[in-house]
Amino acid sequence: MRTIGRVGEDIAGLIWLLGVLLALLSVPALAGGSVALAMLSAPRDRRTPVQGSRLMWGAVLAVVGLAVPARIAWATHEERFYKELEPGMLMLAGMAGGSLLLLGLGPFVSWALTLPDRFAVRLPRPLRLPARRLAGHQPGTAGGVAMTMVATAVATAVMIVAAAQTAQERSFSPSQAPYGALVVQVSSDEEARVARAALRQEIPSAPIVQSEGTGKGYLLYFHNDLAGVDPHIGDQALLGYLTGDLSTPYDEGTAVLVTSEDVGDIPLDIGYSLDTPSGETLRRSIPAIAVKPADPGRTDLFIPAKVLRDLGVGLTPNRLIIDPAFHRTSAAEQERLDRRLGVGTPSYVERGFEASTGWLFVFVPMILLALVGALVATGSVADSLRWRRVLLRVTGGSGVRLRSYAVCRTWLAAACGTALGVAAGAATGLLLAWPGTAADRYDPLPRVAFDTPWLPIAVLVVGFPLLAAALAALLPPGSGPRVRPS
């Protein structure tokens, strides 16, 4: 029976891995299928409409694709603990659904390219001829615009999910020290002595603040409002450093809650363990007062070292700090200090929360891919001999007018692809923000509101077609990838 159970577990693991692999492969496959479907749906000329059956099936795929991340967003909207890898798997499934949405929009790319021609008489004169030419587009044009749509959709979704994750991380990643403070981490009295000597040599004029941690025993505290707040154990100098005011009242038997909230004076229940029997915890209640911090965004708990020593809790130094109010540590000073301390005693200068820039490794390639798609789309529409004659007749063979035609044509194609892509990417990104901020820890953190990056999205909508048009203006008229008509 045990062997059968192991075989069953192995089969289940193999099925799980295959599912992950299929989900990973489905995202680029469906996105690439959108380009192929757009090319297959391209009409033969500007007077031939896109087949209604292709639009209908595309609409069905788009609705199903949008329903998948919507269902996942609903499933992850609760603030609860999710099993290990569960948020990642749900995110992957949502991405596959978003790719299915893009697949369904493939035929609508060909339909969107006919819209400027319908309103050509209302367009500015330089856009009328490019609008009519795009309406009679070839498969290469539709494929290029679909490529632009897919790339801008991914870029938009990535921006929104990154904004949600950054807001979540910033809210629950409090700094361990005020901005600009130099912190040297130590673990024993000997390390503290050596680090203090090195600090005296490199920064002789700045006072050194010492924070201590529990050694023999360990410290617990039982006030609900202090859940997640690490205690700072030390003397009056540490209290003045935490509050930013050296005149803060100090009492060796009173704890201090440094917070911007109005909580009043509260008793602090401390649970501590020494050499007591296993599982037994002693308790002690001490008075505590609340004071305002210099930085409104910080919440710190200060406990006088004497209180814990009187309880028999062993303390050892854990940090030496240079207060930025007395000295701003330069990069050169920190580098010299690190050489003196060696790798065994790390130091850092607190810079606050630093948002991840990993999303740019997806965003930038997508923008480049969208540019390629726009140039491919517009480089494939000027090869018809009849259209070459029309262009020569309209422009009189002027190189400036030919270049103007190429620029307007590129702008129209890029605008069509960007409009569809941003709409699809915004819808998908807002839904994927839910699994993207789901907690995979036993103490789930409440979600925080985030500012949707509408301004960068608007810049993408307006700026990308202009960027593509500017790039087309730098190319010789008629250059670019060409698709020869049969």
DSSP class of residue 225 equals G
Residue 101 pLDDT class (50, 70, 90 cuts): very high
pLDDT of residue 418: 95
Closest C-alpha among 462, 439, 461, 436 to residue 450: 436
Q: Of 39-48, 142-151, 336-345, where does mean pLDDT reach its minimum?
A: 39-48
* Mean pLDDT along residues 180-185: 84
- Specify whether the CB–CB gap between 473 and 465 falls below 8 A: no
Neighbours of 413 (CB within 10 A): 34
Q: DSSP character for 172?
A: T
pLDDT at position 84, please?
Answer: 59
Per-residue pLDDT at 455 exceeds 90: yes
Query: How would residue 69 be classed by pLDDT, with cut points 50, 70 and 90?
Result: very high
Percent of the chain with pLDDT over 90: 19
For residue 385, the model assigns a pLDDT of 47
How far is 149 from 133, CA to CA, in rounded Å? 20
Which residues on adjacent β-strands are paired with residue 182? Answer: 322, 349
* Range in 280-284, 288-292, 328-332, 333-337 with the lowest mean pLDDT: 280-284
Cα–Cα distance list, 95 to 120, 303, 396, 418 (Å) = 37, 48, 50, 19
Dump pLDDT digits (tens) for 327-380.
888 888 888 888 888 777 888 877 777 778 888 999 999 999 999 998 888 765
Residue-averaged pLDDT of the chain:
79
Any idea how long the chain is? 486
Residue with tokens 């007395």, as numbered in its chain: 326
Find the range with the poorest average confidence among 228-237, 315-324, 414-423. 228-237
Q: What are the φ/ψ torsions at residue 50 (nearest 5 degrees)?
A: -70, 140
The helix or strand, by DSSP H or E, that contains position 285, with its residue range, turns out to be strand 282-291
Task: Break the chain into its structural domains and give their ranges.
Answer: 2-173+355-474, 182-349
Q: Which residues pair with 255 in a beta bridge?
A: 288
Q: Which residues contact 177 (CB under 8 A, 6 or more apart)?
A: 183, 321, 350
Is 305 within 8 Å of 159 (Cβ atoms)?
no
CB-count exposure of residue 254 (10 Å: 0-12, 13-18, 19+): middle
Give the C-alpha distances (Å, rounded to integers) separating 14 from 2, 7, 9, 86, 144: 18, 10, 9, 17, 38
Most confident of 3-7, 108-112, 129-133, 325-329: 108-112
440, 84 contact by CB (below 8 A): yes
CB-CB contact of 259 with 247 (8 Å): no
Confidence at residue 278, expressed as pLDDT on a 0 to 100 scale:
57
End-to-end Cα, the chain, rounded Å: 67
Q: How far apart are CA 107 and CA 41, in angstroms?
A: 5
Instruction: For residues 133-155, give the mean pLDDT.
Output: 86
**What's the average model confidence in pLDDT over 26-42?**
82
Structure token pair of residue 326: 């007395």
Q: Is the pLDDT of residue 207 over 80?
A: yes
pLDDT of the residue at 61? 92
